[in-house]
Amino acid sequence: MRHARKKMAALAGIAALAAAVAAVPGVASADENACPSGFFCLWTDADYQGSIIMYAVGMEQALLDPPFHDAATSYRNNTNADFQIWEHAGYQGAYATVHPNAHGGNLSNEQLYNPQNGVSVNANDVVSSVRTW
């Protein structure tokens, strides 16, 4: 366990330097506990399943890579910071702020909001960029 945690921290450090993220494509996650303390996580499927991508506080990604681009369906913020999920690349379009300790098993039940045109969009399978706020 101790070794695994060290490895995770090392991976996170490398990812932060590269302005990328720790992604584990193709690995099925059993539940929201797959998102470790200190990370904001997105899953491609409902109920914290499918592929998972993890962001440490301070990490951002202006354009999500496949299989995460336009695919996020569940999320967990296991950090003490706010994260924003955005409809378009480069933090554009509609967005939602995910507060510390918030989680949701199905983004189909949630909305992103664009304050510039007052339009809300369904949050499922549209997230294209992520940043810490």
Interface contacts to Ca ion, rule CB under 5 A: 44, 71, 73, 125
Nearest to 86 by CA among 45, 131, 47: 131
Least separation in angstroms between residue 104's CB and Ca ion is 13
Nearest to 44 by CA among 27, 58, 62: 27
The residue (of 60 and 70) whose beta carbon lies closer to Ca ion is: 70
Least gap, CB of 126 to Ca ion (angstroms): 9
Residue 12 or 93 with smaller CB distance to Ca ion: 93
14 or 24, CB closer to Ca ion? 24
- Identify the CA nearest to 110 among candidates 92, 125, 93: 125
Residue 13, CA atoms < 13 Å, CB-side half-sphere: 6
Tell me the closest approach of the beta carbon of residue 90 to Ca ion, in angstroms.
21
